[in-house]
Chain A
Amino acid sequence: MNDQAMPAAGEPIVPIEDRLIHPVGERAAVTPKERMTILRQLMPEQDAQARARNFEEVNLGLPQQLAMLEAERCLQCKNPVCITGCPVRVNIPRFIDLLARGDMRAAADSLLDDNALPCVTGRVCPQESQCEAVCLRGKKGDAVAIGYLERFVADWANHHRDSAPAVPTSSGKTVAIVGSGPAGLTAAGELAKRGHTVTVFEAFHAAGGVLIYGIPEFRLPKDIVHDEVTRLEQMGVRIEPNAIIGKTYALDELRATFDAIFIAVGAGLPVFMDIPGENLKGVYSANEYLTRVNLMGAYRPDADTPVLHGQRVAVVGGGNVAMDAVRTAQRLGAAAATIVYRRGMDEIPARREEVHHAQQEGIGFEMQVAPVEVIGENGWVTGLRCVRMELGEPDASGRRRPVPVPGSEFVIDCDMVVVAIGTRSNPILTTSAVGLKVNEWGYIEVDGAGMTSLPGVFAGGDIVRGAATVILAMGDGKRAASAIDAYVRGELPVAQPEATSAAI
């Protein structure tokens, strides 16, 4: 591509934008030097003022012209480090090159080959700490907007799908999947493609896991998740909602009925702060708050499920969950919605884009602050007593932990508090499954292939890693599917120690 024609001396200079109109399959005539002058495209967004009061998607997606221009920024590196930055090793330069050539079908096929849910990851992956963090283009100027391009190609594919996916011939093997979050759905798709008969058991009345009950509509429209689930069903995957393994069915029963099992139940239990006043009315776990709003649709005025509409809302935590909760509260009409986090702005674990969006929307940030008590009146929250934190002396590991500043107590006036300081494993399945090995925090232990201490029972996603990310859960689902495929065909062990979760 580098040897592509440069405009000869005297030839008129055509702006790059115009050169993007070229026959499908060819690249625009852009010189390496010109390539370096193209600025990173900005994601078109809903106006911050308007969106702070509605639940429609914030990011609107790049138009094709700008997506193709952005694709021209990719250097097509000989050693594409972006791929190593991606937990599931999406061949990034390949789909970007196909996009730049205008060959949308091929770009979509390439992307979907590597990633089962690109519409989802293109919206929720922390690209700035994965592929884009290492992108060579970023050494001079900004990294290629890989996430925007992934979303663009994925959305295109979604709108231009074959009417129904091919149903492969049956292998005669059956696999049970427990949990329908990104790990479970990915595994279901991979196994169905290989002809296995897949049943997904889900505790809730609808499939999708965190993608439907946790991540809000304004960040990930639920229709995207529903479409993916429908596609799996068209491929022959059976989804059994309202089925709690450990209650409705025992794991042992599944083991007796299915040739293999994949456990992907997530890390769904809320963690509270364990401070006085936490049981007052108006204190929610982020799980409860977001489930009411997202899964139960309480953001719609005519919903049957109620949710409190706090006027002054404090959200404790600094991760994606906290950002989702605080921005939800703002959208439900809060006059003041504030993040309360015990470390500084640089250490906030949420995706950079979420923090940026929250700031634009007028969310308050009380940083280096820790709650010590929820105060109330007549059973209702009226405030959150906090103390300011500073970095203490380095501990044995050399890390400086936040410690309270003496005498710095103050009260944040609020009528609602959402606790978003993390989650832990749910013991319903694990404690009822005899012989299933878990670690000291209750997370399931697996080997390099994703198999648990029980033969034929595999596990992945947050129930193995602790709360992690969508893409890591999907990676686990994909890897487990390969291992399960080998297992049911009698070809395991296929130990791949380098592919273990910890390595990523």
Chain B
Amino acid sequence: MHPIIGKSKLSPNVTRLVVEAPRIAQIRQAGQFVIVRAAEGAERLPLTIADADAGAGTITLIIQAVGKSTEDLVALEPGEAIRDVVGPLGQATDLLEHGRAVCVGGGVGTAVMLPLVQGLSRNGVRVTSIIGGRSREWVILEEELSRYGEVITCTDDGSYGRPGFVTQALADVITDGPIDVVYAVGPVPMMRAVAEMTRPSAIPTVVSLNPIMIDGTGMCGGCRVSVGGKTLYACVDGPEFNAHEVDFGLLSDRLSPYRDFEKAALEKRHCQLGPQIAEVSAAATAPVGAAR
């Protein structure tokens, strides 16, 4: 059992949980993740270790509530506990030793970025963080990131910071001067756009991939991604890969097979007990292809 020590809301659907996990807090490295199971019977969810305090024996998880399982997780309150936490999983980030890095975060990907920015800054690398959200209330971790370097905040609707997408801000930063590496974490279309933007000038670019996972140890193959024409397992070979070699089309495709199931599970939870339940659970076990 892993008691929840702290909880705060970062945006309308993003929650930060500080969770007791002394062993993982002690040995985790930037870029690694854990798999959690909120309670008996719950799904196994991969989550980046956004921060850790070895002294206090805690890790920080930042969770975007997008389905029943993530909602169940963020419904837990301090004093309650997460049943299972396993890790640290995946390879640690190959952090730049010196020079100049730009980190681009979209949505909850910003949370994945935080430990990278911390690590880079510790190495003495000059870091610019570019983060974005739909509008002001969707921007997360701006203050934390600003402790480690310059932060450019963008909002789609212009309600805060620079109006427009993070990629537009990135374009400007690229023209400003040489960059040794770009890290990009966020929704697949964003990571793909960053990869296309840095490709012509061949700026080394690293993305952190988030395919569907079960075990996190290489035993299921569900997390397979195609990188440089080779099939790799994000949980053990990644989660970070060379952005210019990633097949983003396949990635977004392989993220989608259970979308109908997730929607049905969420509806089922949101509606009261009643006649709808039967319909929803019928949809939840809908045959393959219903999602097409």
**With A304-B265, A306-B258, A306-B261: A415-B287 Cβ-Cβ less than 8 Å:** yes
Q: Are A203 and B24 in contact (CB under 8 A)?
A: no
Q: Are B288 and A308 in contact (CB under 8 A)?
A: yes
User: What is B's interface to A at a CB cutoff of 8 Å?
Assistant: 23-24, 27, 37, 41-44, 68-69, 72, 83-89, 214-215, 217-222, 224, 226, 231, 236, 250, 253-254, 256-258, 261-262, 265, 281, 284-289, 292
- By a CB distance below 8 angstroms, the chain B residues around A310 are 287-288
Selected A-B contacts with CB under 8 Å, 18 pairs? A242-B86, A244-B86, A244-B87, A244-B89, A268-B219, A270-B220, A279-B226, A279-B250, A281-B253, A281-B257, A285-B221, A292-B214, A304-B41, A304-B69, A308-B257, A311-B287, A333-B287, A427-B218
- Identify which of residues 252-285 in chain A touch chain B, using a CB-to-CB cut-off of 8 Å: 268-270, 272, 278-279, 281-282, 284-285
Most buried by A among B24, B27, B285: B285
* 5 further A-B pairs in the complex, CB-CB below 8 A; given A248-B24, A296-B214, A297-B41: A242-B85, A248-B23, A249-B23, A279-B231, A301-B285
- By a CB distance below 8 angstroms, the chain B residues around A288 are 214, 220-222
**With A279-B231, A304-B43, A428-B217: A380-B68 Cβ-Cβ less than 8 Å:** no
Closest-CB distance, B90 to chain A (whole angstroms):
9
- By a CB distance below 8 angstroms, the chain B residues around A205 are 37, 44, 83-84, 86
Q: Are B262 and A304 in contact (CB under 8 A)?
A: no
Is A287 interfacial (CB 8 A cutoff)?
yes
- By a CB distance below 8 angstroms, the chain A residues around B72 are 304
Q: Are B87 and A291 in contact (CB under 8 A)?
A: no
Closest-CB distance, B138 to chain A (whole angstroms):
27
Q: Are B256 and A281 in contact (CB under 8 A)?
A: yes
With both beta carbons as reference points, the residue of chain B lying nearest to A305 in the complex is identified as: B43
Interface string of A348-388 (1 = CB under 8 A from B): 00000000000000000000000000000011110000000
User: What is A's interface to B at a CB cutoff of 8 Å?
Assistant: 203-205, 241-244, 247-249, 268-270, 272, 278-279, 281-282, 284-285, 287-288, 291-292, 296-297, 301-306, 308-311, 333, 378-381, 415-416, 426-428
Closest-CB distance, B29 to chain A (whole angstroms):
11
Q: Are A291 and B43 in contact (CB under 8 A)?
A: no
Q: Are A291 and B23 in contact (CB under 8 A)?
A: no
Closest-CB distance, B71 to chain A (whole angstroms):
11
With both beta carbons as reference points, the residue of chain B lying nearest to A302 in the complex is identified as: B281
**With A204-B215, A306-B261, A309-B286: A285-B220 Cβ-Cβ less than 8 Å:** yes
* Residue from B24, B41, B254 in contact with A281 in the complex, judged by beta carbons closer than 8 Å: B254
- By a CB distance below 8 angstroms, the chain B residues around A242 are 84-86
